[in-house]
């Protein structure tokens, strides 16, 4: 199945179709600052990455209503069902993270992801300091290392091999490239639900709310999870997960510290599914 070909997706109470979007991905990334979506575990039951939208997004203006774990579980399960039909995708990836107490610049990258073997390619278009930087990882290739290439004149040296957990690769980011992609995000949501289930909803003490919203001109159902036990300074005390109502996939994530300051966000937009990506798509 190629970009532009339609396929049915099941969503709770809705049957939708996915098609190609018009926006073309641009390819850019930073090799020593390989940001990659998803999330790193923390003491909080619900620890995941972050999301962002083009332009300002005032979450305080969203009118949330009470929800339950079962409601959130329904959407996560439907997202997993959708992913069974997704072999690969291209998109624009955006993220912003707080590192050592300092909020970094927003990063924007063109992204390619393949399900099997798990493969990720990033090339950054912003900020200016990161333009042209690339990172590529394919499971089972290069002894588990990623290939990275700098932008500008330094890119003339070509690609270098580096461990995804190397301090150079983790500089300026909270997440390794091996954590990248929507499927990894869904896995983290499933893990969070599993922890809550094992503790019991009352014991977990997390508050779940939901609301309708729009991100990147995409109608979304947003879940807000507040964890009163996440009291450490850089713990995700409040998280928001935006599900695309047309595909049921989580396309945006935000995390806030107990003091209300942004911890991180990340998001995926201009998604194009089942494009027929090959090994050549991941240099």
Across the 283 residues of the chain, what is the mean pLDDT of every consecutive 10-residue run?
A: 40 40 33 32 33 49 93 98 98 96 96 98 95 96 95 74 93 92 97 84 78 97 95 94 98 97 97 98 97
Residue 154 domain flag: yes
Q: How far apart are CA 56 and CA 134, in angstroms?
A: 27
- Whether 239 and 48 have beta carbons less than 8 Å apart is answered as yes
pLDDT at 188: 96
- Cα–Cα distances (Å) from 48 to 23, 52, 122, in that order, read 28, 14, 20
135 in any annotated domain:
yes
Instruction: Provide the residue range defining the domain that includes 183.
Output: 7-276
DSSP string, the chain: --TT--EEEEETTEEEEE---SPPPP-B--STB---SS----SSSS-------SS---GGGS--EE--HHHHHHHHHHHHHHHTT-SEEEEEEEEEEEETTEEPPPEEEEEEEETTTTEEEEEEEESGGGTT-EEEEETTSGGGPEEEE-SGGGGGG--EEE-TTSHHHHTT-SS-GGG-SHHHHHHHHHHHHHHHHHH-HHHH--EEEEEEEEETTEEEEEEEEE-TT--STTS--EEEEEEETTT--EEEEEEE-TTS-EEEEEEEEEEEE-----GGG--
Closest CA to 272 of 249, 253, 245: 249
How many CB atoms lie under 10 A from the CB of residue 108? Answer: 21
Kindly state whether residue 110 falls inside one of the protein's structural domains: yes
**139, part of any domain:** yes
The total number of structural domains that make up the chain: 1
| 282 is a domain residue | no
Name 225's bridge partners. 208, 239
Domain assignment present for 144: yes
Measured between alpha carbons, how far is 227 from 202 in angstroms, rounded to an integer?
A: 12
- Does residue 2 lie within any of the structural domains? no
What does the pLDDT read at residue 198?
Answer: 80
Would residue 23 count as lying in a domain?
yes
Return the structure tokens found at 80.
């997993």
| CATH code of the domain in which 195 resides | 2.50.20.10
């Amino acid at each position: 199945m190629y970009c532009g070909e339609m396929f049915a997706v099941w969503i709770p109470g809705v049957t939708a179709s996915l098609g190609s979007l018009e926006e073309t991905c641009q390819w850019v990334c930073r090799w020593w600052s390989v940001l990659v979506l998803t999330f790193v575990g923390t003491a909080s039951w619900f620890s995941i990455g972050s999301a962002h939208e083009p332009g300002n997004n005032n979450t305080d203006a969203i009118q949330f209503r009470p929800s339950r774990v079962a409601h959130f579980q329904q959407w996560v399960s439907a997202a997993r069902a959708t992913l069974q039909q997704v072999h690969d995708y291209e998109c624009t990836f955006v993220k912003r993270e707080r590192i050592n107490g300092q909020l970094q610049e927003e990063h924007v990258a063109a992204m390619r992801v393949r399900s099997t073997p798990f493969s990720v390619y990033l090339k950054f278009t912003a900020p200016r300091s990161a333009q042209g930087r690339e990172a590529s990882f394919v499971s089972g290739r290069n002894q588990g290392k990623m290939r990275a290439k700098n932008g500008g004149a330094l890119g003339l040296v070509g690609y270098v091999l580096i461990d995804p957990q190397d301090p150079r690769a983790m500089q300026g980011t909270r997440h390794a490239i091996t954590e990248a992609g929507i499927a990894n995000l869904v896995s983290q949501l499933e893990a969070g639900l599993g922890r809550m289930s094992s503790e019991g909803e009352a014991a977990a003490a997390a508050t779940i709310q939901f609301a309708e919203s729009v991100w990147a001109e995409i109608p979304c159902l947003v879940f807000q999870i507040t964890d009163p036990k996440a009291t450490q300074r850089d713990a995700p005390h409040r998280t928001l997960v935006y599900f695309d109502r047309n595909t049921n996939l989580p396309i945006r994530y935000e995390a806030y510290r107990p003091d209300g300051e942004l911890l991180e966000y990340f998001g995926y937009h201009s998604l194009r599914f089942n494009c027929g990506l090959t090994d050549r798509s991941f240099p």
